Amino acid sequence: MELCTRDWWLGIARVAQIAWNRPHGSPMPNIHAEVRRTMARDRTESSGSESAGLAGLGALPGFEAPATSGGLVRSWDYRGRRHLVLWLADADPSCDAVTEAAAHENAIRSEGAELLVVIRGTLEPAERARAAMPLGGTMLADADGDVHALLGAEQPTLLVVGRNGIMYWRTPFAVGYGHFDEAVSWLDYLNILEPECETCAPAWPADMMTEA
């Protein structure tokens, strides 16, 4: 929450600066828009990973894959319901990588998100990996690598997807670089957006958006 709080106050400070310097009689700045732009710019610049702020990186392509728990999981089943953290993993993720993911599961859930682990391989080895992993999230088998290819994940990759189906952040995943911390930070960021349209929240009263 610390990063998001900082971003929020940077946006407020930007609005105050514009309001103070505006010519006499000119309209007040659009607080909503200025905070939104400042937060998106700061978050993009502060991360070496790929993002486009509130504009997003485009819609998550639809995919489905068998789950180790049985049945098919479809990406669109989560739309409008849950944010997603997608971990596109190799066939045999390291113990350190699994431990790092497991350590963040509660934080991911507390942000109203689901962790989907997509293993590059068939269902049988994915089931063995599932049995050996201390993970509670959903694990999918990507037998032909189609999901990885669809999402351009030639190496282990982490993505954050809003419940509106938009991809907001992605990074090549490596242990020890705080990537799951950053994913949780993005979820926190998305949760300060209005659920209806995922624009900056809280919604400001109309009388604050115009000249008093």
Give 61-70 pLDDT, tens digit per residue: 999 999 988 8
At 192 the pLDDT is 81
| More confidently predicted of 123 and 73 | 73
| Same domain? 84 vs 186 | yes
Q: Predicted confidence band at 176 (pLDDT cuts at 50, 70, 90)?
A: confident
149 Cβ contact partners less than 8 Å away, ≥ 6 residues apart: none
| Same domain? 33 vs 114 | no
On whether residue 168 sits in a domain, the answer given is yes
Q: Is the pLDDT of residue 44 over 50?
A: no
DSSP secondary structure letters along 128-195: HHHHH----SEEEE-TTSHHHHHTT-SS-EEEEE-TTSBEEEEEE--TTS-HHHHHHHHHHHHTTB-T
- Mean pLDDT throughout 170-182? 89
| Same domain? 27 vs 70 | no
- Mean pLDDT throughout 90-99? 87
Domains: count for the chain: 2
| Same domain? 27 vs 66 | no
The pTM score is 0.69
On whether residue 209 sits in a domain, the answer given is no
On whether residue 201 sits in a domain, the answer given is no
Q: How many CB atoms lie within 10 A of CB 159?
A: 24
On whether residue 108 sits in a domain, the answer given is yes
| Same domain? 179 vs 128 | yes
| Residue numbers of the domain that contains 8 | 2-46
Q: Is the pLDDT of residue 79 over 50?
A: yes
On whether residue 206 sits in a domain, the answer given is no
On whether residue 212 sits in a domain, the answer given is no
- Mean pLDDT throughout 72-97? 92
| Same domain? 34 vs 74 | no
Q: Predicted confidence band at 144 (pLDDT cuts at 50, 70, 90)?
A: very high
Q: Predicted confidence band at 210 (pLDDT cuts at 50, 70, 90)?
A: very low
At 2 the pLDDT is 43
| Same domain? 60 vs 155 | yes
Q: Helix 95-103 vs helix 179-190: angle between axes, to the nearest 10 degrees? A: 30
| Same domain? 66 vs 131 | yes
- Mean pLDDT throughout 100-121? 93
| Same domain? 74 vs 146 | yes
| Same domain? 132 vs 167 | yes
On whether residue 200 sits in a domain, the answer given is no
Q: Report the CATH number that the domain containing residue 178 is assigned in CATH.
A: 3.40.30.10
| More confidently predicted of 17 and 37 | 17
| Same domain? 71 vs 147 | yes
| Same domain? 25 vs 89 | no
On whether residue 124 sits in a domain, the answer given is yes
From residue 64, how far is each of 8, 86, 120, 135 by CA, in Å? 36, 13, 14, 20
The partner residues of 165 in beta bridges, in order of sequence, read: none
Q: Is the pLDDT of residue 76 over 90?
A: yes
